[in-house]
């Protein structure tokens, strides 16, 4: 779907003539798709319409937390509703498109990504704005167009989607900040409330694992880089991540528990830019030592196996391979 083919109507009052709505979030929903659905649902319910919100599993912890803060839950989808609205979804694999196609009602899609082939044809109306930072920002403009005053819940839903999709404001635009300020003001919200709605409170055992990981930390310098190694009994990936916050460029954290052994590793953006690829070049080396598998991305990778007796050797091997790579730069 190219921008040219995108149909933008002057007014987008797609709700007219419909009494019941099913809003579909994308599979494994994020805060933007959930926030879009919640704000839209609240606006439609304010008009006396019946709305259900659905998303296909899995539902991640951040979204579970967000939904509970917003006081909303996912429901069973009603494909017989007068109108099906799909939010923050550009790919046919992210929703049950066959059910959408078969649905008798009006079908609308709202997104801030270019639609991938095979999805546009299922819809009667497309509200696509590729300049918007988040789908909730599009929903915000729709609600304004409909003359709706944002309440706290709508404002929180919209602003949270904007903040999470802006990737730490790295892709935020001037209009993004202008909209965000207006939304916070209209909803009577402090920015801190947005952060609370999207940050999952960390489990105490995870906090302890992070601190133990720091306590047992060993590190070596290789040129300008610092490689760190530690061992915990669980939350190894959270610990590996936290070691980067502490200052390491690359971290390896091993965990052995109940006959299972896992290694999690992280590399800083800088190390990844230099060409390190943990999932391809470093972690697979430990597979025979832990009798298991390894893989992952350049900056985040893991290994798991069934033999914990050589875990220290496996971590040492990761360290040596990383040193060799860094030496070769």
Q: How far is the CB of 111 from Mn ion (least distance, A)?
A: 8
Q: Give whole-number Cα distances, 151 to 26, 36, 295, in Å.
A: 25, 14, 46
3-state secondary structure of 104: coil
Output 88 or 186, the one with its CB closest to Mn ion: 88
Instruction: Measure the CA–CA gap between 323 and 317, rounded to whole angstroms.
Output: 10
3-state secondary structure of 250: strand
CB neighbours of 305 closer than 8 A, spacing ≥ 6?
260, 261, 262, 286, 287, 289, 290, 291, 292, 293
Output 88 or 193, the one with its CB closest to Mn ion: 88
Output 129 or 307, the one with its CB closest to Mn ion: 129
3-state secondary structure of 323: helix
Output 37 or 271, the one with its CB closest to Mn ion: 37
Q: How far is the CB of 112 from Mn ion (least distance, A)?
A: 6
Instruction: Measure the CA–CA gap between 183 and 188, rounded to whole angstroms.
Output: 8
* Residue whose C-beta lies closest to Mn ion: 32
Give counts: helices (H), strands (E), the chain. Answer: 12, 11
Instruction: Measure the CA–CA gap between 221 and 313, rounded to whole angstroms.
Output: 19
- In our burial notation (b when 16+ CB lie closer than 10 A, e otherwise), range 139-162 reads bbbbbeeeebebbebbbbbbbbbb
Q: How far is the CB of 220 from Mn ion (least distance, A)?
A: 40
Instruction: Measure the CA–CA gap between 204 and 190, rounded to whole angstroms.
Output: 27
Q: How far is the CB of 223 from Mn ion (least distance, A)?
A: 39
Dihedral, 194, 35, 115, 102 alpha carbons, nearest 10 = 170
Output 135 or 154, the one with its CB closest to Mn ion: 135
Q: How far is the CB of 27 from Mn ion (least distance, A)?
A: 13
Q: How far is the CB of 286 from Mn ion (least distance, A)?
A: 36
Q: How far is the CB of 88 from Mn ion (least distance, A)?
A: 4
Output 130 or 270, the one with its CB closest to Mn ion: 130
Instruction: Measure the CA–CA gap between 31 and 67, rounded to whole angstroms.
Output: 9
Output 32 or 249, the one with its CB closest to Mn ion: 32
Output 88 or 249, the one with its CB closest to Mn ion: 88
Name the residues that contact Mn ion, by CB under 5 A: 32, 88, 135, 165
CA 122 to chain centre: 25
Q: How far is the CB of 72 from Mn ion (least distance, A)?
A: 18
Give me the sheet containing 225-232, strands edge to edge: 218-222, 225-232, 250-257, 260-267, 300-305, 292-296
3-state secondary structure of 219: strand
């Amino acid at each position: 779907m190219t921008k040219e083919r995108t149909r933008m109507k002057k007014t987008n009052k797609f709700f007219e003539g419909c009494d019941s709505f099913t809003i579909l979030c994308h599979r494994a929903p994020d805060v933007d798709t959930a926030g879009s659905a919640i704000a839209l649902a609240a606006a439609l319910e304010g008009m006396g319409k019946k709305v259900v919100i659905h998303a296909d599993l899995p539902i991640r912890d951040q979204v579970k937390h967000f939904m509970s803060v917003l006081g909303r839950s996912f429901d069973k989808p009603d494909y017989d509703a007068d109108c099906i609205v799909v939010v923050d979804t550009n790919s046919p694999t992210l929703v049950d498109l066959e059910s959408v196609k078969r649905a008798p009602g009006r079908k609308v899609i709202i997104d801030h990504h270019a639609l991938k082939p095979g999805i546009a044809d299922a819809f009667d109306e497309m509200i696509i704005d590729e300049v918007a930072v988040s789908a909730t920002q599009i929903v915000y403009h729709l609600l304004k167009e409909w003359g709706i005053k944002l309440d706290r819940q709508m404002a929180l839903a919209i602003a949270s989607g904007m903040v999470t999709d802006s990737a730490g404001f790295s892709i935020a635009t001037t209009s993004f900040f202008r909209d965000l300020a207006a939304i916070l003001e209209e909803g009577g919200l402090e920015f801190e409330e947005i952060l609370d709605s999207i940050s999952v409170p960390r489990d105490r055992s995870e906090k302890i694992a992070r601190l133990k990981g720091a306590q047992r930390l060993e590190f070596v310098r290789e040129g300008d880089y610092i490689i760190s190694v530690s061992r915990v009994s669980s939350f190894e990936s959270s610990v590996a991540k936290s070691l980067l916050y502490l200052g390491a460029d690359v971290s390896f954290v091993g965990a052995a528990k109940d006959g299972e052994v896992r290694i999690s590793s992280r590399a800083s953006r800088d190390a990844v830019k230099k060409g390190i690829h943990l999932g391809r070049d470093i972690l697979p080396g430990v597979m025979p030592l832990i009798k298991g598998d390894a893989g992952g991305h350049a900056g985040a990778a893991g290994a798991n196996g069934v033999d914990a007796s050589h875990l220290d050797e496996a971590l040492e091997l990761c360290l040596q391979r990383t040193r060799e790579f860094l030496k070769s730069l």
